[in-house]
Structure 1
Amino acid sequence: MIEPTATRRPIADQMYDLLLQQFMSGDRAAGQSLNIGALSRELDVSQTPLREALARLEHTGLVEREALRGYRVAPMMTRTEVQQLMEARLLIEPELAEQAALRKTDAFLRTLKETVDDFHRSAEAADVETERFDLYWRSDDRFHMAIAAQAGNRFLEMAYAALGGQIQRFRLFSKFGRTGARLAAPEHTTIYDAIAAGDGAAAAEAMRAHVTGATQRLLGD
């Protein structure tokens, strides 16, 4: 559970990653109570790093804290929240894609291509296999985060990062037959191709179509 001493990161960081993994795999269901004492015994760590990890997860929106009741996994998103998240992403991500295309580097393109390849490998079975779903959401996360980092505007990158937990909730909400990963995979390729060509306008339009399509697939519209 805890990393070997030679390679150990802070325990709070390890607990953050572990809990995130458990949320996304469904090991801890949406709305489930997160009792710190019980978690401390289960994971064999002290309560202090757990509190820190849960506080960070609360900031992302993946965890909620209720007065006198403690923490719980955030509930599934409502249709209204999904729609509003799309609207927020459409204000930010097309611009990030356009700027990333204009600032592309060979190293960035190699990293982005790796995420696209991983996404394609997960696409066929993301809806039915936990392992493939894990690869799906992690590669999707890396893809979008890499573009945000490459855009060269730290304030836009921070704005996107602030949505990170809600986008994870969106991915979790899309689990069990609704990821649309097989349709999203070619959309990632289209975005990559536009960025690799240095075509900012095409990259922005491809990102806009991807964010809109992902939302429509989830809502069944």
Structure 2
Amino acid sequence: MTSPRRRSERQPLADKMYEVLLGQFTDGRWTAGEPVNIGALSRELDVSQTPLREALARLEHTGLVRREALKGYRVAPLLTEFELTKLMDARAVLEPAMAYEAARRTTPEFLDAVLDAVDTLATLDSAVFSDYWKADERFHLLIAKQADNPFLETAYKSLGGQVQRFRFFATLGSARGAPGLAAEEHRAVHAALVAGDPDEASAKMRLHIENAKARVLSDRAAVASSLSR
């Protein structure tokens, strides 16, 4: 049995490996469906396989990798068009409700943080795709937390891994200019939050999710085409 001390010493390394692997997904190193060679990773990163396995187990919970019996880990396949449609439909149910609740309990600090997230997104170059997704996610997480409903927030975060699963395998494709489009839609949500208008905040969030759905479905077609070449 592993001693508590040894576990506590190993955990920070497992945490670090989780961040390293997550960074590799963000940087586009991995492709959908690619097998994960733990031995090669161990040699490349100069760490034992144990913290890598722990990091991969955490990534499995996000939906980014899958563990196959007797085969090890493999990067999750690209979401199907049906899965992506249903994922965005789920967000269209959940996120307007969170925006409604957030608009009922705004604070100056919250509004400033949301505005900063909007402004950050507006200044990004779409060529830096990972920065785009990170800024977008920050905006949505701020609203999820401000809704002050742990069940809604947990439900949103449970979708987060699947959203990342698509995001990390996306290419620019049809998404050129997406940061600017998303920033405009985010700014409309922010304006409704500033006005303290729950119905308007909900409506603007729903419109944003519907527009985002159209964009990601178009981009999925571009990703699928690139993977089939």
TM-score, with length taken from structure 1? 0.87
Gaps of 5+ in 1: 1-8
Three-state SS of the structure 2 residue aligned to 1:76 is: coil
TM-superposition CA deviations, 1:7-56 (whole Å, max 9, x none): xx922222222212211221112211112222111112222221121111
Which stretch shows the higher mean deviation, 57-66 or 15-24?
Answer: 15-24
Contact 2:103 2:198 survives alignment (8 Å):
yes
Cα distance in structure 2, aligned partners of 1:157 and 1:83? 21
Cα distance in structure 1, aligned partners of 2:191 and 2:17? 37
Alignment equivalent of 1:158, drawn from 148, 151, 154: 154
Distance 1:15 1:46, change over 3 A: same
List aligned pairs for 1:178-217, cutoff 5 A. Answer: 178-179=174-175, 180-217=178-215
| Structural RMSD (CA) | 1.7
1:142 aligns with 2:144: no
Three-state SS of the structure 2 residue aligned to 1:182 is: helix
Cα distance in structure 1, aligned partners of 2:48 and 2:102? 42
Alignment-mate amino acid for residue 184 of structure 2: P
List aligned pairs for 1:103-182, cutoff 5 A. Answer: 103-122=105-124, 125-126=125-126, 129=127, 132-179=128-175, 180-182=178-180
Q: CA deviation at 1:163?
A: 0.7
Three-state SS of the structure 2 residue aligned to 1:72 is: strand
Gaps of 5+ in 2: 1-10, 220-229
Three-state SS of the structure 1 residue aligned to 2:123 is: helix
Three-state SS of the structure 2 residue aligned to 1:163 is: helix
Alignment equivalent of 1:70, drawn from 59, 72, 78: 72
Three-state SS of the structure 2 residue aligned to 1:10 is: helix
Q: CA deviation at 1:171?
A: 2.1
Contact 1:148 1:156 survives alignment (8 Å):
yes
Three-state SS of the structure 1 residue aligned to 2:67 is: strand
Contact 2:28 2:169 survives alignment (8 Å):
no
Q: CA deviation at 1:174?
A: 4.0
Which stretch shows the higher mean deviation, 24-33 or 158-167?
Answer: 24-33
The aligned counterpart of 1:80 is 82
Alignment-mate amino acid for residue 200 of structure 2: A
The aligned counterpart of 1:58 is 60
Cα distance in structure 1, aligned partners of 2:16 and 2:115? 27
Contact 2:78 2:169 survives alignment (8 Å):
yes
Alignment-mate amino acid for residue 150 of structure 2: R
Cα distance in structure 2, aligned partners of 1:170 and 1:102? 32
Distance 1:11 1:114, change over 3 A: farther
Size of the alignment, in residue pairs?
A: 207
Cα distance in structure 1, aligned partners of 2:170 and 2:188? 22
Cα distance in structure 2, aligned partners of 1:22 and 1:58? 15
Q: CA deviation at 1:173?
A: 4.7
TM-superposition CA deviations, 1:50-75 (whole Å, max 9, x none): 11211111111111111111111112
Three-state SS of the structure 2 residue aligned to 1:146 is: helix
Cα distance in structure 2, aligned partners of 1:45 and 1:108? 41
Larger CA Rg, structure 1 vs 2 = 2
